[in-house]
Amino acid sequence: MMSRVKNKWLLKGVTALCMAGMLLAAAPLSVMPVLATEAVYINDDQRADAHAEMKFYMETLIKRENPEQYIKDELGDILYSGIYYIANSEKMKEEEMWAHVAKIKGLMDAAVSKTGETTTTTEFLSLADNWETPTVSYGQKVSIVLPIINMGEEWLTDLLVEPVISNDVNEWPFVPDSTGSTQNFKEIPGCATRLYDEAFYNRREVTYTFTVREDVLTGYYPLKFQVWYSKDGIRCSKPVELTVYVFCQGKPGSGRIGMSDVSNVSQPRIIVTGFTTEPAEVFAGDTFMLTVHVKNTSNDTAVNNVLFDLQAVEGGAEGSNGSVTNSYAAFLPTSGSSSIYVEKMTAGSVHDLQIEMQAKADLSQKPYVVTVGMKYDTELKADLTDEAKVSIPVKQESKFDSSTPEVMPPDIMVGEQSNVMFQIYNTGKTTLYNVQVKFEADSVEGGDTFIGNLSPGATGNVDAMVNGIAQTMDDGIVKAVIFYEDDAGNQTRVEKDITIFVSEMMMMEDPMMDMPMEDFEEPQKKLSTGVIIGIIAGAVVLAGAVILVLFKVRKKKKNAKLLEEDLMDLEKDE
């Protein structure tokens, strides 16, 4: 059945082709060109393509230029007129349609050009000061974080950030990649107070990840980023350009940025890797040995005729108006010279510089900087210079004195108290922290006194009451222990001896308590007569003795006076 149907339709098709051929053969020659050049007009699918193209172009303009609202309304009217014209043109060819689309785009461009512009100034956008220059080697990836802050009072919107990319390795050290290089964010708040802290809090951070080229040169590369924005709905005419730096390490022998082709070799750099002092703690007025460790970081270039010069920062005493007087170097070399000469440092080698120095006696307790200046040559260049700094902490020895303690009373019995008073004087140039006094002995307790911090020249008073708790079994020495801390929290203990004797409390016994009651009554009766007579007799004897002594003294005085008069007479006779 199916085969018969197929054959039937095949027969009809052949018949139709034959009839068409006969008609073409019989037709006049003038009719033939008309059939071959019949016009082809646009269909609905092509109209939809034109509609989409014009709409996309308008949306792109709005996103890029951010025009004012009345311009947006005008763009909508232009788009509608273009769509309406093409939709209602039945006999429009494809080339005519696209020509009309180009005309609509031109009208949109003209409308956008009428909008206002805002002038770009660097007072608005900049980078926060927490930016750190990253270091990366060839072939590695690195993340560049841009902390963007707005120091202007106005809010900025529709921000777009894009790096300035170049194929020149001297300008752009990364593998060029345009995909995903543009980033945007909606807004960044204004800084109403015009203070940095507020702007830093409102910052926006944009992160880029790049791959360093294999043929990168060694050195610092400036990376430029353009930031577009709108203010009060008006697009900026030019972008803000922000610049950050990245240090790239190239392959050995790859050369450095800015070097000529003749001397395109790695330029060495001498760095300070650390330092030590002997002794480890440097006190003001002490002499110490300073050892500075330096290294030639180049992997392929040696340096010659290296001259190191170690100079300490200048300091001095502060005057009444805050100015520094008697300026001098904090450290002075004991040999009189601060220069050290090294004939050669091979590539990658390290060297120790040693110099004996003395710290000035009146330095304050704080770190002091020593600058290490370097001057050296290579085979291709001479008089290359570099500089590094080390910071040496200087300490002031803690000093104090105390007055002679006053102990009242120095002899007490168990259960009684003694008052101990003395003063503590800070005679050094550093603050004594958490000063306190405690008393240590087996015979007393208590009296702990907290004084607090004592600045240089200050005095602390100790007024303590100690309690006697046991009889003194030794020479009566009680240790007054003075504790204090330095600025690092290290505690110092100093003992001061005082003398306090503690004795047992004596119990008074009544001798009459052991006598019987009958024996107690009888002597009382006798005391009323015999004892009274004895007391009177004793008083008489005592009075006689006193009179006798006075008589003898008076007699001696009289004899002495007579002797003195005789001597005076003898002198007159002579």
Residues 318 and 350 both lie in one domain? yes
Looking at the structure, tell me whether residues 376 and 413 fall in a common domain.
Answer: no
Question: pLDDT of 472-500, one tens digit each?
Answer: 988 889 999 999 988 778 888 999 999 99
Q: What is the mean pLDDT of residues 418-443?
A: 91
Contacts by residues 515-523 (CB-CB < 8 Å, ≥ 24 positions apart) = none
Indicate the pLDDT class of residue 115, thresholds 50, 70 and 90: low
**Is 552 a residue whose pLDDT tops 80?**
no
Q: Are residues 243 and 129 in the same domain?
A: yes
- Most confident of the following: 294-308, 327-341, 379-393: 294-308
Same domain, 289 and 360: yes
Averaged over 195-213, what is the pLDDT?
Answer: 90
- Based on the fold, state whether residues 129 and 244 are members of the same structural domain: yes
Q: What is the mean pLDDT of residues 339-362?
A: 90
The predicted structure's pLDDT at residue 6: 38
pLDDT of residue 364: 79
**What is the rounded CA–CA span in Å between residue 544 and residue 537?**
11
Residues 139 and 244 in one domain: yes
Least confident of 37-51, 165-179, 258-272, 321-335: 258-272
Question: Could you tell me if 145 and 77 lie in one domain?
Answer: no
Computed on alpha carbons and rounded to an integer, the radius of gyration of the chain in Å comes to 54
- φ, ψ of residue 338 to 5 degrees: the values are -105, 10
- Calculate mean pLDDT across residues 1-7: 38
What confidence score (pLDDT) does residue 14 get? Answer: 40
Token readout for 276 is 């030590």
**442 part of a folded domain:** yes
User: For residue 338, what are its two tokens?
Assistant: 């601060």
Q: What is the mean pLDDT of residues 505-521?
A: 56
Tell me how many domains the chain contains: 4
pLDDT at 347 over 90: no
- Which of the residue ranges 55-59, 307-311, 442-446, 528-532 would you say has the lowest mean pLDDT? 528-532
The DSSP call for residue 78 is: H
Q: How far is CA 232 from the centre of its chain?
A: 38
pLDDT at 424: 93
| The residue type at 565 | E
pLDDT of residue 179 exceeding 70, the answer is no
What pLDDT, on a 0 to 100 scale, did the predictor assign at position 17?
Answer: 42
* Confidence (pLDDT) at 188: 92
Same-domain status, 90 and 77: yes
Does residue 525 fall inside a structural domain? no
Is the pLDDT reported for residue 459 higher than 80? yes
Q: To the nearest whole percent, how much of the chain has pLDDT over 90?
A: 31
Residues 156 and 88 in one domain: no
CATH of the domain at 495: 2.60.40.10
pLDDT bucket at 19, cuts 50 / 70 / 90: very low
Q: Which residue has the higher pLDDT, 133 or 9?
A: 133
Q: What percent of the chain has pLDDT over 70?
A: 74
Asked if residue 402 lies in contact with residue 396, where contact means CB atoms within 8 angstroms, the answer is no
Residue 25 forms part of a structural domain: no
- Which of residues 551 and 533 earns the better pLDDT score? 533
Q: Is residue 548 part of a domain?
A: no
Q: Which residues contact 172 (CB under 8 A, 6 or more apart)?
A: 164, 165, 166, 221, 223
Residues 6+ apart with CB under 8 A from 292: 272, 274, 275, 308, 310, 352, 353, 354, 372, 390
Half-sphere exposure of 570 (CA within 13 A, CB side): 6
Contacts of 565 (CB under 8 A, 6+ apart): none
What is the residue-wise DSSP string for 367-417? EEEEEEEEEEE-SS---EEEEEEEEEEEEPPP-EEEPPPEEESSEEETT-E
Domain closes at, from 503, 534, 557: 503
| Dist CA 454 CA 451 (whole Å) | 8
Q: Is it the case that residue 371 has pLDDT exceeding 80?
A: yes
The answer on 137 and 240 residing in a single domain is: yes
Which structural domain range is residue 332 located in? 270-395
Please report whether residue 557 resides in a domain: no
Please tell me whether residues 280 and 243 are part of one structural domain.
no
Asked if the structure places residue 570 within a domain, the reply is: no
Q: How confident is the model at residue 535 (pLDDT cuts 50, 70, 90)?
A: low
Mean of pLDDT values over 402-411: 92
Q: Residue 396 pLDDT > 70, yes or no?
A: yes
Region 159-163: what's the mean pLDDT?
92
**Mean pLDDT computed over every residue of the chain:** 79
Of 469, 503, 537, the position where a domain reaches its end is 503
Last residue of a domain, one of 471, 503, 535: 503
Same domain, 76 and 95: yes
Average pLDDT over residues 254-269: 62
Q: Is residue 417 part of a domain?
A: yes
* Range with top average pLDDT, 392-396, 515-519, 554-558: 392-396
pLDDT at position 484: 92
Residue 561 maps to a domain: no
